[in-house]
Amino acid sequence: MPDALPRRRITLTVNGKEHSAETEDRYSLADFLRHGLGLTGTHLGCEHGVCGACTVLVNGEAVRGCLMLAVQAEGCRVTTIEGLADDDGALSPLQQAFMDNHGLQCGFCTPGILTTLTAYLRDHPNADEPEIREALSGNICRCTGYDTIVRAALAAARTIREGAKA
C-alpha cells in the first residue's frame, strides 16, 4: 500500500472570510479553491501558466492560480471572481462594464480577465487602449476577438476615474 500523499492544514482569507482547511502539498491554489473550498468560478484551462483563466488576486496582485501551490498561500488574502461584487450583490464597475459592453461570450476566460483587470485598473486608472491590450496579453479569449473586452475595460477605467472602486 503506497504512503498517503503529504497533506497539511493551511489558513488563509478568501473573499474576506478566513478558511482553515487541509490540502495535499501538491495541490495548486486553483485546485484548492475549486475542490477544497467549492469556489468553481476560478477556471483552469492550460494548467501551465499560459491562458490566464485561473488568475486570482493574492494580497491584491494578479497571480496564476495554477502556478502557485495552495500551501504557498498560507496567511494570504485571496480574492476570486466570487469576491468582486459587493456583499449585497452589486456588481463592481468592471463587472458592470463587461455586462454593458458584451465583454463575454462563453465566459470561460472571464474570471481571469476580470481579476487581472481589477488589479491593473486599480493601479492604472488612466490606462489607454494599447496599455489595456498589453495588460491583457497574458489572458486568452477564444470567443470575443477582444474588442468588446477592451471596450469594457476602457468604460470601467472611466468609471473608476470618476471615483468608484474597481
Dist. CA 161–CA 74, nearest whole Å: 34
Residue carrying the nine cell digits 478568501: 14
Q: Which of 16, 49 has the CB closer to ligand FES?
A: 49
CB atoms within 10 A of CB 131: 14
Instruction: Tell me: does residue 108 bind ligand FES (CB under 6 A).
Output: yes
Q: Which of 91, 125 has the CB closer to ligand FES?
A: 91
* 8-16, 93-101, 106-114, 155-163 -> range binding ligand FES (CB under 6 A): 106-114
Cell of 139: 489572458
* 72-80, 89-97, 114-122, 141-149 -> range binding ligand FES (CB under 6 A): 141-149
Least distance to ligand FES, CB of residue 52, Å: 5
* 11-19, 48-56, 84-92, 116-124 -> range binding ligand FES (CB under 6 A): 48-56
Least distance to ligand FES, CB of residue 126, Å: 26
Closest to 110 in 3D by CA, of 83, 144, 86, 61: 144
* 74-82, 103-111, 114-122, 127-135 -> range binding ligand FES (CB under 6 A): 103-111
Is the torsion defined by CA of 135, 139, 145, 147 positive or negative? negative
Positions 115 through 134 that interact with ligand FES (CB under 6 A): none
Contacting residue, 41, 56, 64, 94, with ligand FES by CB under 6 A? 64
* 8 A C-beta contact, residue 70 and residue 7: no
List the alpha helices (DSSP H) in 60-146: 93-100, 110-123, 129-135
Q: Torsion angle, CA of 67/139/40/96, rounded to 10 degrees?
A: 140
Q: What is the CA radius of gyration of the chain?
A: 16
Site of interaction with ligand FES (CB under 6 A):
44-47, 49-54, 64, 66, 104-109, 141-144
